Amino acid sequence: MIRIIFFVFLLTYLYSESISKEMLVCKECIHKSIKDAISLSNPYDTIIVQEGIYDEFEININYPIYLFGNKATIDANLNGGIFNIYSDNVSISGFTLINIKESFKKDIAAIYVFNVNNFSLENLTIRNPFFAFLIQKSSRGYIRNNIIIGNAENQYNSANGIHIWHSNNIEVINNKISNMRDGIYFEFVKNSTIRSNNSTNNLRYGLHFMFSDNNEYDGNTFERNGAGVAVMFSKKIIMKNNYFLNNWGSSSYGLLLKEIYDSEIRNNLFDNNTIGINIEGSTRINYYKNTFLSNGWAVKVLGGCYNNLFMNNNFISNSFDLSYNGSENDNLFKNNYWSKYSGYDLDTDGIGDVPFHPVKLFSFVVDRSPESIILLRSLFVEMINFSENVSPIFTPTYLVDKEPLIKIIK
């Protein structure tokens, strides 16, 4: 019996060794290229690539494998992409990937993932990519702790940093993306998380997503992007603890919401944007404890926005706190702090005794005649705003915060 047990143990050990081994790639090793090591590997093997520059491209991965770079750089020399993943249970970590080919006919990326479950892409530095990560029809993936540095100059011949299409349960965490077309792009992506990323200096959007429900965006920074962040045609979105900074230009927003439903925008900072939030056709959204600081417009509300709640937000030193072009208001403004509020609080309960009307006459004028913005700091504007406050004629009286707060919400 002991011999049988020993024999079974030996077979199990040998089998485990046969299905999972460690391979080295280096200039002095048996395996001098990554493609060579993969071609000789078995499923679930670990391949460690030592320090050096490897001129390789279009490395196809068709079974589970773990690839780790030890200060290794892979240079595609503009010949194509680098890793194409077509198998479940693949992990790639620790490489620098450079010089990815541009293509407008074929999906080419530093790392392309197609129809895969359970993948991990971590601790990678990607320079001069077309697409850095292109993920399609995949699920249960991690994209973490990566640095993506593009050289995009025009939208028509550049691509996105992290581009995810028709996928679910993807976590995009702690990545730094700059100088791409869009930093992060989601389309038909569900039940996913974008957390603690820094997306800056991208030509178009720091974050751009459409038709993507049940996603959460937490603790990200979107700064100096051409058009800020766009969230469109989605529902059940949570955006919290994010920073929308210095997104400035004639068509730039901190955050653009278009046809968003049943969502929550809370604890975000909108600082020094042309428009903090531009809202169009979006319904049943709670805006809670956000701070709008030094924006051109803090909030612009266009037609078709109903049953939205703005509560406990700070509106501080914006040129215009609110612009509204609808004829009716089905949105509630309650207990917000407005730095332009000049009322009083006789009973010292922290709530102003006089309601605050955030839409000013000059905002109304600028919406209809944008060139009049040059008069913004003039005495004339102060006079017409004051007269409108005394006797409202043009501005909507139904847009009111009946209980404005006296002190900034911390």
Cα 164 to Cα 134, 194, 210, 240, 273: the distances in Å are 6, 12, 11, 21, 27
Q: How high is the mean pLDDT of the chain?
A: 89
Q: Residue 163: which pLDDT band, with cuts at 50, 70 and 90?
A: very high
Contact partners, residue 301, CB within 8 Å, separation at least 6: 279, 322, 323, 324, 325, 326, 331
pLDDT of residue 10: 44
Please tell me the least confidently modeled range out of 38-42, 223-227, 390-394: 390-394
On the question of pLDDT at 404 being above 80, the answer is: yes
On the question of pLDDT at 130 being above 70, the answer is: yes
pLDDT of residue 70: 96
Complete domains list, the chain, with CATH: 1-220 (2.160.20.10), 227-359+395-410 (no CATH)
pLDDT of residue 386: 59
Contact partners, residue 148, CB within 8 Å, separation at least 6: 126, 129, 132, 133, 161, 162, 175, 176, 177, 178, 180
Which neighbouring-strand residues pair with 217? 194, 239
On the question of pLDDT at 384 being above 70, the answer is: no
The mean pLDDT of 192-216, rounded to a whole number, is 96
The mean pLDDT of 194-213, rounded to a whole number, is 96
On the question of pLDDT at 30 being above 80, the answer is: yes
- Pairwise pLDDT comparison (4 vs 387), residue with the higher score: 387
Q: Residue 376: which pLDDT band, with cuts at 50, 70 and 90?
A: low
Query: Helix axis angle, 379-390 relative to 361-368, nearest 10°?
Result: 120
Residue 409 to residue 21: CA distance in whole angstroms: 57
Residue 159 to residue 81: CA distance in whole angstroms: 13
| 69-116 pLDDT, tens digit each | 999 999 999 999 999 999 999 999 999 999 999 888 888 999 999 999
| 307-321 pLDDT, tens digit each | 999 999 999 999 889
The mean pLDDT of 34-63, rounded to a whole number, is 96
pLDDT of residue 98: 97
pLDDT of residue 380: 52
pLDDT of residue 32: 94
At 68, list the tokens.
């780790």
pLDDT of residue 49: 97
pLDDT of residue 358: 86
Question: Are 126 and 132 within 8 A, CB to CB?
Answer: yes
% of the chain beyond a pLDDT of 70: 85
pLDDT of residue 16: 44
Q: Across 49-53, 299-303, 383-387, which has the greatest mean pLDDT?
A: 49-53
Query: Hey, which bits of 123-242 come out as E strands?
Result: 125-127, 131-136, 139-144, 147-149, 162-173, 176-178, 184-190, 193-195, 198-200, 207-210, 216-218, 221-223, 229-235, 238-240
| 327-346 pLDDT, tens digit each | 666 889 999 999 999 889 89
Q: Residue 157: which pLDDT band, with cuts at 50, 70 and 90?
A: confident
Strand, coil or helix: what is 380? helix
Question: Are 321 and 358 within 8 A, CB to CB?
Answer: yes
| 225-238 pLDDT, tens digit each | 998 899 999 999 99
Q: Residue 287: which pLDDT band, with cuts at 50, 70 and 90?
A: very high
On the question of pLDDT at 260 being above 70, the answer is: yes
